Protein backbone atom coordinates (compact mmCIF):
# COMPACT_ATOMS: atom_id res chain seq x y z
CA UNK A 1 0.00 0.00 0.00
CA UNK A 2 1.33 3.43 -0.96
CA UNK A 3 0.67 6.26 1.47
CA UNK A 4 0.18 9.75 0.07
CA UNK A 5 0.51 11.37 3.49
CA UNK A 6 3.76 13.33 3.95
CA UNK A 7 4.79 12.75 0.31
CA UNK A 8 6.00 15.23 -2.30
CA UNK A 9 3.68 15.09 -5.32
CA UNK A 10 4.28 16.54 -8.78
CA UNK A 11 1.54 16.87 -11.39
CA UNK A 12 2.22 17.91 -14.98
CA UNK A 13 -0.68 19.82 -16.50
CA UNK A 14 -1.80 20.32 -12.94
CA UNK A 15 -3.44 23.76 -13.13
CA UNK A 16 -6.79 22.56 -14.48
CA UNK A 17 -8.84 19.50 -15.33
CA UNK A 18 -8.06 16.16 -13.75
CA UNK A 19 -4.50 17.28 -13.02
CA UNK A 20 -5.79 19.99 -10.71
CA UNK A 21 -8.17 17.57 -9.01
CA UNK A 22 -5.43 15.00 -8.52
CA UNK A 23 -3.25 17.60 -6.82
CA UNK A 24 -6.07 18.77 -4.58
CA UNK A 25 -6.98 15.22 -3.57
CA UNK A 26 -3.38 14.38 -2.76
CA UNK A 27 -3.24 17.41 -0.47
CA UNK A 28 -6.42 16.26 1.24
CA UNK A 29 -4.76 12.87 1.72
CA UNK A 30 -1.99 14.65 3.62
CA UNK A 31 0.67 15.22 0.94
CA UNK A 32 3.47 17.33 2.37
CA UNK A 33 4.12 19.42 -0.74
CA UNK A 34 2.41 19.71 -4.13
CA UNK A 35 4.40 20.78 -7.17
CA UNK A 36 2.36 21.87 -10.19
CA UNK A 37 3.80 22.11 -13.68
CA UNK A 38 1.70 23.82 -16.34
CA UNK A 39 2.08 25.79 -19.55
CA UNK A 40 -0.81 28.14 -18.82
CA UNK A 41 0.51 30.90 -16.57
CA UNK A 42 -2.87 32.36 -15.67
CA UNK A 43 -4.35 29.03 -14.58
CA UNK A 44 -1.15 28.13 -12.75
CA UNK A 45 -1.03 31.33 -10.73
CA UNK A 46 -4.71 31.06 -9.81
CA UNK A 47 -4.47 27.42 -8.74
CA UNK A 48 -1.29 27.89 -6.71
CA UNK A 49 -2.62 30.94 -4.86
CA UNK A 50 -5.94 29.27 -4.12
CA UNK A 51 -4.29 26.22 -2.59
CA UNK A 52 -1.71 28.26 -0.69
CA UNK A 53 -4.51 30.40 0.76
CA UNK A 54 -6.14 27.18 1.95
CA UNK A 55 -3.02 26.47 4.00
CA UNK A 56 -1.26 23.96 1.75
CA UNK A 57 2.40 23.92 0.67
CA UNK A 58 2.28 24.33 -3.10
CA UNK A 59 4.83 25.42 -5.70
CA UNK A 60 4.07 26.23 -9.31
CA UNK A 61 6.46 26.12 -12.27
CA UNK A 62 5.76 27.29 -15.80
CA UNK A 63 6.91 24.33 -17.86
CA UNK A 64 6.38 23.30 -21.46
CA UNK A 65 6.72 19.51 -21.39
CA UNK A 66 7.25 19.59 -25.16
CA UNK A 67 10.59 21.29 -24.49
CA UNK A 68 13.39 19.06 -23.13
CA UNK A 69 15.48 21.98 -21.86
CA UNK A 70 12.42 23.35 -20.07
CA UNK A 71 11.85 19.99 -18.40
CA UNK A 72 15.47 19.54 -17.33
CA UNK A 73 15.81 23.07 -15.95
CA UNK A 74 12.56 22.91 -13.99
CA UNK A 75 13.38 19.42 -12.67
CA UNK A 76 16.72 20.65 -11.32
CA UNK A 77 14.93 23.53 -9.62
CA UNK A 78 12.35 21.24 -8.05
CA UNK A 79 14.96 18.80 -6.76
CA UNK A 80 17.01 21.66 -5.30
CA UNK A 81 14.12 23.65 -3.82
CA UNK A 82 11.59 20.98 -2.83
CA UNK A 83 13.50 17.70 -2.84
CA UNK A 84 12.81 14.20 -4.14
CA UNK A 85 9.45 13.69 -5.82
CA UNK A 86 7.66 10.72 -4.28
CA UNK A 87 4.60 10.56 -6.54
CA UNK A 88 4.81 11.75 -10.14
CA UNK A 89 1.69 12.24 -12.25
CA UNK A 90 2.45 12.36 -15.99
CA UNK A 91 -0.87 14.00 -16.76
CA UNK A 92 -0.19 16.72 -19.37
CA UNK A 93 -1.57 15.85 -22.79
CA UNK A 94 -2.97 17.27 -26.03
CA UNK A 95 -5.34 16.02 -28.72
CA UNK A 96 -5.88 17.33 -32.25
CA UNK A 97 -8.91 15.27 -33.31
CA UNK A 98 -8.69 15.31 -37.11
CA UNK A 99 -8.57 12.76 -39.88
CA UNK A 100 -4.93 11.87 -40.45
CA UNK A 101 -4.93 13.47 -43.91
CA UNK A 102 -5.86 16.78 -42.24
CA UNK A 103 -2.94 16.82 -39.79
CA UNK A 104 -0.13 19.27 -40.28
CA UNK A 105 3.46 18.31 -39.51
CA UNK A 106 3.25 20.49 -36.40
CA UNK A 107 0.06 18.73 -35.22
CA UNK A 108 1.88 15.40 -35.29
CA UNK A 109 5.08 16.68 -33.73
CA UNK A 110 3.31 18.53 -30.93
CA UNK A 111 1.20 15.51 -30.02
CA UNK A 112 4.26 13.29 -29.66
CA UNK A 113 6.37 15.95 -27.97
CA UNK A 114 3.77 16.37 -25.22
CA UNK A 115 2.11 12.96 -24.97
CA UNK A 116 5.15 10.71 -25.42
CA UNK A 117 8.51 12.47 -25.22
CA UNK A 118 7.34 14.78 -22.45
CA UNK A 119 6.19 11.86 -20.33
CA UNK A 120 9.47 10.01 -20.85
CA UNK A 121 11.73 12.99 -20.24
CA UNK A 122 9.89 14.14 -17.12
CA UNK A 123 10.22 10.64 -15.69
CA UNK A 124 13.87 10.43 -16.75
CA UNK A 125 14.65 13.55 -14.76
CA UNK A 126 13.00 12.41 -11.52
CA UNK A 127 13.70 8.68 -11.65
CA UNK A 128 17.34 8.82 -10.45
CA UNK A 129 16.33 10.26 -7.07
CA UNK A 130 13.60 7.62 -6.75
CA UNK A 131 16.17 4.91 -7.47
CA UNK A 132 18.61 6.43 -5.01
CA UNK A 133 16.06 6.38 -2.19
CA UNK A 134 14.49 3.10 -3.29
CA UNK A 135 10.92 4.40 -3.48
CA UNK A 136 8.59 6.27 -5.77
CA UNK A 137 5.27 6.03 -7.58
CA UNK A 138 4.91 7.02 -11.24
CA UNK A 139 1.39 7.49 -12.60
CA UNK A 140 1.09 7.62 -16.38
CA UNK A 141 -2.17 8.82 -17.93
CA UNK A 142 -2.62 6.76 -21.07
CA UNK A 143 -6.08 6.27 -22.61
CA UNK A 144 -8.67 3.71 -23.60
CA UNK A 145 -7.59 4.69 -27.13
CA UNK A 146 -4.27 2.96 -26.41
CA UNK A 147 -6.14 -0.33 -26.91
CA UNK A 148 -8.41 0.36 -29.88
CA UNK A 149 -8.24 2.18 -33.21
CA UNK A 150 -10.54 5.14 -33.72
CA UNK A 151 -11.05 7.49 -36.70
CA UNK A 152 -9.95 11.11 -36.09
CA UNK A 153 -7.68 9.85 -33.28
CA UNK A 154 -4.92 8.19 -35.30
CA UNK A 155 -2.12 10.41 -34.01
CA UNK A 156 -3.49 10.77 -30.47
CA UNK A 157 -4.18 7.03 -30.19
CA UNK A 158 -0.71 6.15 -31.47
CA UNK A 159 0.84 8.46 -28.87
CA UNK A 160 -1.14 6.73 -26.13
CA UNK A 161 -0.21 3.28 -27.48
CA UNK A 162 3.39 4.41 -27.08
CA UNK A 163 2.74 5.52 -23.50
CA UNK A 164 1.13 2.18 -22.69
CA UNK A 165 4.07 0.17 -24.05
CA UNK A 166 6.64 2.36 -22.35
CA UNK A 167 4.77 2.49 -19.04
CA UNK A 168 4.40 -1.28 -18.82
CA UNK A 169 8.05 -1.84 -19.76
CA UNK A 170 9.15 0.68 -17.15
CA UNK A 171 7.00 -1.07 -14.55
CA UNK A 172 8.73 -4.39 -15.16
CA UNK A 173 12.17 -2.78 -15.06
CA UNK A 174 11.45 -1.11 -11.73
CA UNK A 175 9.91 -4.23 -10.23
CA UNK A 176 13.22 -5.99 -10.88
CA UNK A 177 14.90 -3.45 -8.63
CA UNK A 178 13.16 -5.20 -5.68
CA UNK A 179 12.38 -1.89 -4.01
CA UNK A 180 9.31 0.26 -3.42
CA UNK A 181 9.15 1.55 -6.98
CA UNK A 182 5.68 1.52 -8.54
CA UNK A 183 4.12 2.35 -11.90
CA UNK A 184 0.39 2.85 -12.42
CA UNK A 185 -0.99 3.11 -15.96
CA UNK A 186 -4.36 4.84 -16.28
CA UNK A 187 -6.58 4.14 -19.30
CA UNK A 188 -9.75 6.25 -19.13
CA UNK A 189 -12.41 6.76 -21.74
CA UNK A 190 -13.64 10.26 -22.53
CA UNK A 191 -13.55 12.61 -19.54
CA UNK A 192 -15.78 15.65 -19.20
CA UNK A 193 -13.05 18.28 -18.94
CA UNK A 194 -13.49 20.11 -22.26
CA UNK A 195 -10.48 18.45 -23.88
CA UNK A 196 -12.82 16.13 -25.80
CA UNK A 197 -15.75 18.50 -26.19
CA UNK A 198 -18.15 17.21 -28.84
CA UNK A 199 -17.07 13.58 -28.54
CA UNK A 200 -19.86 11.06 -28.00
CA UNK A 201 -19.73 8.15 -25.58
CA UNK A 202 -19.92 4.64 -27.07
CA UNK A 203 -22.82 2.39 -26.15
CA UNK A 204 -22.76 1.40 -22.43
CA UNK A 205 -19.68 3.56 -21.91
CA UNK A 206 -20.53 6.85 -20.17
CA UNK A 207 -18.50 10.04 -20.34
CA UNK A 208 -16.46 10.04 -17.14
CA UNK A 209 -16.77 12.77 -14.54
CA UNK A 210 -13.43 14.23 -13.40
CA UNK A 211 -14.40 13.43 -9.80
CA UNK A 212 -14.94 9.76 -10.55
CA UNK A 213 -11.76 9.12 -12.51
CA UNK A 214 -9.55 11.01 -10.07
CA UNK A 215 -11.04 9.07 -7.15
CA UNK A 216 -10.22 5.86 -8.99
CA UNK A 217 -6.65 7.00 -9.65
CA UNK A 218 -6.05 7.94 -6.00
CA UNK A 219 -7.47 4.58 -4.91
CA UNK A 220 -5.24 2.86 -7.48
CA UNK A 221 -2.14 4.50 -6.02
CA UNK A 222 -3.03 3.59 -2.46
CA UNK A 223 -3.69 -0.03 -3.43
CA UNK A 224 -0.57 -0.33 -5.64
CA UNK A 225 -2.69 -1.28 -8.64
CA UNK A 226 -0.99 -1.80 -11.99
CA UNK A 227 -3.86 -0.35 -14.05
CA UNK A 228 -6.92 1.81 -13.74
CA UNK A 229 -9.34 1.12 -16.59
CA UNK A 230 -12.47 3.26 -16.58
CA UNK A 231 -15.35 2.90 -17.26
CA UNK A 232 -15.63 -0.86 -16.77
CA UNK A 233 -16.27 -1.53 -20.47
CA UNK A 234 -12.63 -0.63 -21.12
CA UNK A 235 -11.64 -3.90 -19.43
CA UNK A 236 -13.21 -5.75 -22.39
CA UNK A 237 -10.98 -4.15 -25.02
CA UNK A 238 -7.84 -6.30 -24.58
CA UNK A 239 -9.63 -9.69 -24.54
CA UNK A 240 -11.93 -8.71 -27.43
CA UNK A 241 -9.02 -7.60 -29.60
CA UNK A 242 -7.11 -10.76 -28.71
CA UNK A 243 -9.97 -13.16 -29.44
CA UNK A 244 -11.95 -11.61 -32.28
CA UNK A 245 -10.82 -11.43 -35.90
CA UNK A 246 -10.14 -7.82 -36.87
CA UNK A 247 -13.25 -7.45 -39.03
CA UNK A 248 -15.41 -8.82 -36.22
CA UNK A 249 -13.89 -6.37 -33.79
CA UNK A 250 -14.52 -3.57 -36.30
CA UNK A 251 -18.16 -4.62 -36.56
CA UNK A 252 -18.77 -4.97 -32.82
CA UNK A 253 -16.75 -1.92 -31.79
CA UNK A 254 -17.62 0.25 -34.74
CA UNK A 255 -21.18 -0.75 -35.63
CA UNK A 256 -22.65 -2.16 -32.42
CA UNK A 257 -21.00 0.05 -29.78
CA UNK A 258 -20.39 3.02 -32.08
CA UNK A 259 -16.76 3.51 -31.03
CA UNK A 260 -15.68 4.59 -34.50
CA UNK A 261 -18.27 7.40 -34.56
CA UNK A 262 -17.42 8.93 -31.21
CA UNK A 263 -15.19 11.65 -32.68
CA UNK A 264 -17.48 12.60 -35.57
CA UNK A 265 -18.61 15.85 -33.91
CA UNK A 266 -15.44 16.53 -31.92
CA UNK A 267 -14.61 20.21 -31.41
CA UNK A 268 -12.25 20.13 -28.41
CA UNK A 269 -11.13 23.21 -26.59
CA UNK A 270 -10.97 26.55 -28.42
CA UNK A 271 -7.67 26.93 -30.34
CA UNK A 272 -6.35 29.55 -27.92
CA UNK A 273 -6.80 27.10 -25.05
CA UNK A 274 -5.71 23.88 -26.75
CA UNK A 275 -2.00 24.53 -27.30
CA UNK A 276 -1.08 27.69 -25.37
CA UNK A 277 2.35 29.19 -25.59
CA UNK A 278 4.40 29.22 -22.43
CA UNK A 279 5.19 32.68 -21.05
CA UNK A 280 8.80 33.66 -20.43
CA UNK A 281 8.60 33.67 -16.61
CA UNK A 282 9.94 30.48 -15.09
CA UNK A 283 8.36 30.07 -11.69
CA UNK A 284 5.47 31.02 -9.51
CA UNK A 285 5.51 30.24 -5.80
Catalytic residue among 156, 190, 235, 260: 156
User: Residue 186: its pLDDT value, please?
Assistant: 98
Print the SS3 string covering 243-270: HCCHHHHHHHHHHHCCHHHCCCCCCCCC
- Compute the distance between CA of residue 119 and CA of residue 207 in angstroms, rounded to an integer: 25
Per-residue pLDDT of the chain (285 residues; tens, 9 = 90+): 789 999 999 999 999 999 999 999 999 999 999 999 999 999 999 999 999 999 999 999 999 999 999 999 999 999 999 999 999 999 999 999 999 999 999 999 999 999 999 999 999 999 999 999 999 999 999 999 999 999 999 999 999 999 999 999 999 999 999 889 999 999 999 999 989 999 998 888 899 999 999 999 999 999 999 999 999 999 999 999 999 999 999 999 999 999 999 999 999 876 544 444 444 443 343
Give the model's pLDDT for residue 285: 35
Give the domain ranges of the chain.
8-278
- What residues contact 280, with CB distance under 8 A and at least 6 apart? none
156 catalytic, yes or no? yes
CATH code of 8-278, in short, is 3.40.50.720
C-alpha distances in Å from residue 130, one per residue of 8, 84, 106, 262: 12, 7, 34, 40
Amino acid sequence: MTLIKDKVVLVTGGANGIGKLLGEKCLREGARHLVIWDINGKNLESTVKSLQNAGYRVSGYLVDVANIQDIETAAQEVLAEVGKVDILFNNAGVVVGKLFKEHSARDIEKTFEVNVLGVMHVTRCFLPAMLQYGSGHIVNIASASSMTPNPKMSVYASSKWAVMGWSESLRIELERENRELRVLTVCPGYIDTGMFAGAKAPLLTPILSPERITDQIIKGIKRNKLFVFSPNMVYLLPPLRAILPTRWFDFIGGKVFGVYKTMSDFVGRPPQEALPEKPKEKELA
